[in-house]
Amino acid sequence: MDLQADDFYSALSHPMRLRALLLLKQEGELCVCELTHALALAQPVISRHLGQLKEAGLLLSRRQGLWVYYRVSDSLPEWVTQVIQTTIAGVSTTSPYQDDRQALHAMLDRPNQTCC
């Protein structure tokens, strides 16, 4: 929407919010429990930071049954999308971002309507 540059940058000022955003941009929709697993952090911490990213307008969410899926908004300003993509291109193969994806993929029983 009318996402301001300073809101964008302060939304990403916490390492975990940056990790979550990059992971979501690369993986598409993820539920809270997947993020909790991938980032290895407590659920309330994850939920609160996701809430901040959503509040900033960077994320959208939808509930499906017990699970809430978050994804990167598809109506971001073009420059924001480019900045995110450029950041991914620059750092996605480094720690901790690469590890986050590996942890996600190593997760068993990812909720495909199944469980968490």
Partner DNA sequence: AATATATATTCTAAAAACTATATATATAGA
Partner DNA sequence: TCTATATATATAGTTTTTAGAATATATATT
The contact set with DNA (CB under 7 A) reads 10, 13-14, 16, 31-33, 36, 42-52, 61, 63, 65-68, 115-116
| Residue in the structure block whose two tokens are 């908004």 | 73
Give me the least distance between CB of 64 and its own copies, in Å please.
Answer: 31
Residue 6 contacts which entry, its own copies, DNA, none (Cβ below 5-8 A, type-dependent): its own copies
Rounded CA separation 66/56 (Å): 24
47 binds, among its own copies, DNA, none (CB under 5 to 8 A by kind): DNA
Q: Residue 107, exposed/middle/buried by CB under 10 A (0-12, 13-18, 19+)? A: middle
**Which among DNA, its own copies, none contacts residue 66 (Cβ within 5 to 8 A by kind)?**
DNA
Residue span binding its own copies (CB under 8 A) among the ranges 26-34, 45-53, 90-98, 101-109: 90-98
Helix axes of 32-39 and 97-105: crossing angle, nearest 10 degrees: 120
User: Restricting to residues 68-87, which ones interact with its own copies according to CB under 8 A?
Assistant: 77-80, 82-83, 86-87
- HSE, side-chain direction, 13 A CA sphere, residue 6: 0
